[in-house]
Amino acid sequence: MDVVVGLGETGRPLFNVLKATYPDTFGYDLKEVIGEWDGEPVGVMNICLPYFDNFVDVVKEYQRKFSPALTIIHSTVPIGTTSQISDAVHSPILGKHDNMEYSLTGFTKWIGGSRANIASGYFNVVGMNTKCVDAPEVTEALKLLCLAEYGMSIAFAQYKKDVCDKYGINYALAMDWNANYNNNVSRNLRRPLVTPPEGKIGGHCVVQNTRHLNKQHPNPILDEILKYDPEKAHYKAWGTSNIYPSAKIGKDVNIGTFCEIGANVKIGDRVRIGAMSFIPEGVTIKDDAWIGPRVTMTNDRYPPSGKDNWEDTVIEEGARVGAGVTILCGCTIGKGALVGAGSVVTKSIPAGERWCGVPARKMDALEAVA
């Protein structure tokens, strides 16, 4: 008895293909179970879950539940993931989502790991052609690189369309050009015929997995792909700004030119960030906040001290930070608070208060002295 864990766009087609040959295969998903499990250890556990932060822990939990003799990870995962799971091999799925069952038997099924030959025999009975490699890192890397290469072609298609639009050239002519080229060159030199992404690259494969690859092996080419992340297509960044792919940005956010938005920064909905602002890792800006131009935030009070000593900075809902303000890390700007232009904030500001100066102090106190 075998099991397929995860019955989504890849898991369900795989389940159908396997069950046709191995009729006692059952499917397990949080939303449904197909077939019956007798409670005994399974032979093969097929993992078809999308990757998430605690992916390895969840797979190990399923191993404890089903006690499989062999675990096959079909998911696209960061390099080095499968090696953290005992008795596991990696065998990424290739094919078109709208015809996945056919693709599963049409494409060669690559398998990486010390027990790849066992998985190969399992798939060969089903009618799948297989190719074995020694380490799961090989198949993990090749699948990520494959998706990123496709994403690069899509991103370049948008660049090509932008140039065509500037000179009034019908993009279909650019497609015809490549088709004509492909008809007259050898197969290995043919160019992909790709349409522009129109602001975002859809689906759940290319951008999401390019993000994994870029996190492990950063490259500006990958950054170009990630500009079309569908999760980030709802904000506007003007001109040249450096926005890290791991930054989480809400809806209707407006980012001025020449801004730096660091790794893992969190920005809520309807936030406005002025030009030339510096917002590093560790900063959270909540809904409806207003950040003026040339605002500098920090995350290291005594640089360079290392990440373990960094402190967070929080800008609460509706807070307003004037032009040229510097905010030291470890501070919170309260809900609806106002910080005057040119101030240096060295400690937290309560909700609704107005502060200014170097260092910043409550404006009511300053007015009383004057």
Q: Do 60 and 103 lie in a common domain?
A: yes
Cα–Cα nearest to 289, from 337, 233, 346: 337
Let me know if residue 85 belongs to a domain: yes
Lowest-pLDDT choice from 169-178, 188-197, 344-353: 188-197
- Amino acid identity at 332: T
pLDDT at 363 over 80: yes
Whether residue 121 sits in one domain with residue 13: yes
Residue with tokens 């497609």: 175
> Sorting pLDDT into bands at 50, 70 and 90, what band is 286?
very high
Dihedral class, residue 209 (left if φ above 0, else alpha if ψ from -120 to 50, else beta): alpha
Q: Confirm if 253 and 267 have CB atoms less than 8 A apart.
A: yes
Pick from 86, 108, 134: which residue ends a domain?
Answer: 134
The verdict on residue 352 lying in a domain is yes
Residue where a domain terminates, one of 72, 103, 134: 134
Q: In one letter, which amino acid is 137?
A: E
Residue 239 has pLDDT above 80, yes or no: no
Could you tell me if 249 and 211 lie in one domain? no
Let me know whether 56 and 170 are in one domain.
no
Domain span including residue 35: 3-134
> Is 334 inside any structural domain?
yes
Q: Are residues 182 and 277 in the same domain?
A: no
Q: Read off the CATH number of the domain in which 358 is found.
A: 2.160.10.10
Tell me whether residue 79 is in a domain.
yes
Distance of CA 3 to the CA centre of its chain: 28
Q: What percent of the chain has pLDDT over 70?
A: 97
Alpha-carbon span 186 to 348, nearest angstrom: 65
Residue whose entry in the numeric block shows the structure tokens 């075998």:
2
Q: Are residues 241 and 365 in the same domain?
A: yes
Q: Of all residues in the chain, what percent are helix, strand and coil, respectively (each to 5)?
A: 35, 20, 50
* Residues 6+ positions from 277 with CB-CB distance below 8 Å: 256, 259, 260, 291, 292, 293, 294, 295, 296, 297
Q: What is the CATH number of the domain that holds 66?
A: 3.40.50.720
How far is residue 312's CA from residue 330's CA, in Å, rounded to a whole number? Answer: 5
Q: Which of 323, 322, 321, 324 is nearest to 332 (CA)?
A: 321
Residue 127, pLDDT score: 92
Residues 323 and 244 in one domain: yes
* Residue 289 contacts residue 320 (beta carbons within 8 Å): yes
Q: Would you say residue 142 lies in a domain?
A: no
Instruction: State how many domains the chain has.
Output: 3
154 and 229: one domain? Answer: yes
Average pLDDT over residues 101-122: 94
In the structure, what pLDDT confidence band is assigned to residue 232 with cuts at 50, 70 and 90? low
Token duo for residue 172: 């279909």
Task: Please indicate, yes or no, whether residues 111 and 129 belong to a single structural domain of this protein.
Answer: yes
Whether residue 16 is contained in a domain is answered as: yes
> In which band, very low, low, confident or very high, does the pLDDT at 205 lie, cut at 50, 70 and 90?
confident
pLDDT band at 230 (very low <50, low <70, confident <90, very high): confident
User: Is residue 370 very low, low, confident or very high in pLDDT (cuts 50, 70, 90)?
Assistant: very low
* Domain match, 160 and 220 both: yes
Residues 310, 356: one domain?
Answer: yes
pLDDT digits (tens, 9 = 90+) for 160-186: 999 999 999 999 999 999 999 999 999
Does 44 reside within a domain? yes
Q: What mean pLDDT comes out for the span 139-163?
A: 94
Cα–Cα distance, 253 to 272 (Å, whole number) = 6
pLDDT of 366 > 70? The answer is no
Tell me the pTM: 0.69
Q: What is the pLDDT of residue 198?
A: 78
Question: Quick check: is 140 in a domain?
Answer: no
Alpha-helical (H) ranges within the chain are 11-21, 55-66, 100-106, 116-126, 136-166, 171-182, 206-216, 220-226, 363-369
- What's the confidence (pLDDT) of residue 31? 87
Task: Give the pLDDT band (50/70/90) at residue 368.
Answer: very low
Cβ-based neighbour number of residue 338 at 10 Å: 18
Please give the span between the terminal C-alpha atoms of the chain, in angstroms, as a whole number: 83
CB under 8 Å to 158, separation ≥6 — which residues?
196, 197, 198, 228
Residue 369 has pLDDT above 50, yes or no: no
**Domain CATH code at residue 201:** 1.10.1040.10
Q: Do 265 and 348 belong together in one domain?
A: yes
Given a cut of 90, is residue 43 above it in pLDDT? yes
**Please, are residues 90 and 71 in contact by the beta-carbon 8 Å criterion?**
no
| Average pLDDT value for residue range 216-222 | 89
CA 86 to chain centre: 26
How big is the chain by its Cα radius of gyration, in Å? Answer: 26
Strand bridging mode 320-321 / 338-339: parallel
Low-confidence winner among 162-166, 223-227, 311-315, 345-349 (lowest mean pLDDT):
223-227
Domain boundary among 134, 159, 183: 134
Tokens of residue 44, six digits: 């093969």
pLDDT band, residue 238 (cuts 50/70/90):
confident
